[in-house]
Amino acid sequence: MTLFVVPHDPEWPQDFESETLIIDEALGEAAIVLHHIGSTAISGILAKPIIDMLGVVQDIDAFGHKSAVLRGIGYEAMGAYGIEGRLYFRKLDAAGCRTHHLHVYETGSRHIERHLAFRDYLRSNPRKAAEYSGLKARITSGSEVSWQEYMDAKDSFITETERHAVDWYRKRNLESGDR
């Protein structure tokens, strides 16, 4: 599989909203709270053309029984896929290309905060977002790069930025009174 990144598509937020409606209709609106995460949620940066969604549920084990419902709307259940406490699903189009990733966590999981913090931090810090976009351009330019090579090459940037983002996110939420 050749991995590539593309300029931000202004349709991605609407794609997220449309998919949210499909999932809510299939599962029942109260079953999951969905957030648009990942690079497609950050205006102006390069991204893989795959909508990443963060799903928050009250009971991850109970939600696991809804895998058949998600399969019915085109999702493949991948289990934890290397992250304890997560259920991961991916959706492919008719050509076999990934279109959506759904990362589901139970309320209170630390992964929820880190995903939302990273997204909000980059949305609020255009220089850092541009740095991330530039890194992705360098990784994917030239020779073919595998999914794992791409992820590994971004890891140190994400780890470092995420640490700052979580601190920033917590401080911002304390100042605004959010908990």
7 falls within a domain: no
5 falls within a domain: no
29 falls within a domain: yes
Query: What pLDDT score does 178 carry?
Result: 62
Please report, for the domain that includes residue 123, its CATH number: 3.30.460.10
**Residues contacting 56, CB < 8 A, separation 6+:** 32, 33, 34, 35, 104, 105, 106, 107, 112
When computed from its CA atoms, the radius of gyration of the chain, rounded to whole angstroms, is 16
44 falls within a domain: yes
40 falls within a domain: yes
84 falls within a domain: yes
Instruction: Show the domain range for 60.
Output: 12-176
Q: Is the pLDDT of residue 154 over 80?
A: yes
Query: What pLDDT score does 2 carry?
Result: 60
In tens, the pLDDT along 84-132 reads 999 999 999 999 999 999 999 999 999 999 999 999 999 999 999 999 9
Cα 9 to Cα 170: distance, rounded to the nearest angstrom: 29
Query: What pLDDT score does 176 carry?
Result: 82
Q: Is the pLDDT of residue 8 over 80?
A: yes
Q: Is the pLDDT of residue 150 over 80?
A: yes
105 falls within a domain: yes
57 falls within a domain: yes
* In the block, residue with structure tokens 């140190």: 156
Q: In this predicted model, which residue has the larger pLDDT, 147 or 67?
A: 67
Q: Say if residues 73 and 59 touch (Cβ distance below 8 Å).
A: no
**Residues contacting 132, CB < 8 A, separation 6+:** 39, 45, 122, 157, 161
Q: How many domains does the chain have?
A: 1
Q: Which of helix, strand or coil describes residue 157? A: helix
Q: Say if residues 104 and 79 touch (Cβ distance below 8 Å).
A: no
In tens, the pLDDT along 11-58 reads 999 999 999 999 999 998 779 999 999 999 999 999 999 999 999 999
Query: What pLDDT score does 3 carry?
Result: 67
